[in-house]
Amino acid sequence: MYSGFRAHRHENPNTNSTSILSGIEIPNHPSFSTSSDDCDFTTPEKTESSQSVKLHLKKRSLSGETPVAGKDSLYQSTANDWTRIQTLHKRNQKPRKTHLGKDGLSEKTVSPAPAPVPEMETYAGKLMGTLKSGVTLGSGEYFMDVFVGTPPKHYSLILDTGSDLNWIQCTPCHDCFEQSGPHFDPKQSLSYKNISCSDKRCGLVTSPDPTRHCKPEESDSCPYFYWYGDSSNTTGDFATETFTVNLTTNVDGVKERHQEVKVENVMFGCGHWNRGLFHGAAGLLGLGRGPLSFASQLQSLYGHSFSYCLVDRNSNESVSSKLIFGEDKGILSHPELNFTKLIGGTEAPLDVFYYVHIKSVIVDGKTLDIPEKTWDLSSDGYGGTIIDSGTTLSYFADPAYNIIKSAFQTKVKRFPLVTDFPILEPCYNVSGVADYKNYLPSFGILFNDGAVWNFPVENYFIKLEPEEIVCLAILGTPRSALSIIGNYQQQNFHVMYDMKKSRLGFAPTKCADV
Write out the catalytic residue numbers: 160, 388
Are the C-beta atoms of residues 471 and 482 closer than 8 Å to each other?
no
Are the C-beta atoms of residues 329 and 337 closer than 8 Å to each other?
no
Three-state SS string across 136-200, please?
HHCCCCEEEEEEECCCCEEEEEEEECCCCCCEEEECCCCECCCECCCCECHHHCCCCEECECCCH
Are the C-beta atoms of residues 108 and 53 closer than 8 Å to each other?
no
Residue 31 CB neighbours (<10 A): 22
Q: Which residues are registered as beta bridge partners of 324?
A: 54, 307
Q: Which residues are registered as beta bridge partners of 475?
A: 395
Cα(370)–Cα(127) distance, integer angstroms: 42
Say which amino acid occupies 210.
P
| CB burial of residue 277 (10 Å; 0-12, 13-18, 19+) | buried
Residue 450: which residues within 8 A CB-CB, separation 6 or more? none
Are the C-beta atoms of residues 390 and 143 closer than 8 Å to each other?
no
Are the C-beta atoms of residues 64 and 324 closer than 8 Å to each other?
no
Handedness of CA 155, 158, 160, 163 (dihedral sign): negative
E strands, 61-162, where?
Answer: 126-128, 131-133, 142-148, 153-160
DSSP-derived letter for residue 10 is G
Cα(167)–Cα(157) distance, integer angstroms: 9
Q: Which residues are registered as beta bridge partners of 133?
A: 142
Q: Cα 88 to chain center, whole Å?
A: 12
Closest C-alpha among 379, 402, 412, 369 to residue 474: 402
Q: Cα 167 to chain center, whole Å?
A: 14
DSSP-derived letter for residue 212 is P
- ω into residue 95 within 30 of 0, thus cis? no
Are the C-beta atoms of residues 273 and 248 closer than 8 Å to each other?
no
492: alpha, beta or left? (left if phi > 0; alpha if psi -120 to 50): left
